[in-house]
Amino acid sequence: MKKKLRNFFLFSFCFTFFYLSLLKGLNAIEADLGENLFKHSCAGCHMNGGNIIRRSKNLKISSLKRNGIDNPETIAKIARQGIGIMSGYKDELGENGDEIVANWVWEQAQNAWFQE
């Protein structure tokens, strides 16, 4: 009985460890994907989170908040459909690309677009 219990804990431990590493790996892959999508579709105008056309409408947290953009879903919608004079990039981003790039943008904004 004791042995079974020990095996159970050992198994749970390994499984949790494996699961967490997998999640971490997936997150890293998604972050890379987000960065690539951004470079490809957004950086032309939003280099380093700025905005070369309308400077006040940049991707820094203060600007996003001022314009009522306070979650990645709203950014995904803008990426897909555009906003004001910015057109949408639905076709370029592909399936789920809007969400992936939006999550990446949101994370960069939280981190003040500081690149390691």
- Give the number of other CB atoms < 10 A from CB of residue 52: 10
* Binding-residue pattern over the window 9 to 38 for ligand HEC, x denoting contact by CB under 6 A: ------------------------------
Site residue total, ligand HEC (CB under 6 A): 26
Q: Which of 35, 46, 49, 106 binds ligand HEC (CB under 6 A)?
A: 46
Considering beta carbons, is residue 24 or 54 the nearer one to ligand HEC?
Answer: 54
DSSP 47: G
- At 78, which helix (H) or strand (E)? helix 72-81
84 contributes a contact to ligand HEC by CB under 6 A? yes
Q: Where along the sequence are the contacts to ligand HEC (CB under 6 A)?
A: 41-42, 44-46, 51, 53-54, 57-59, 63-64, 67, 69, 75, 78-79, 83-86, 89, 93, 101, 105
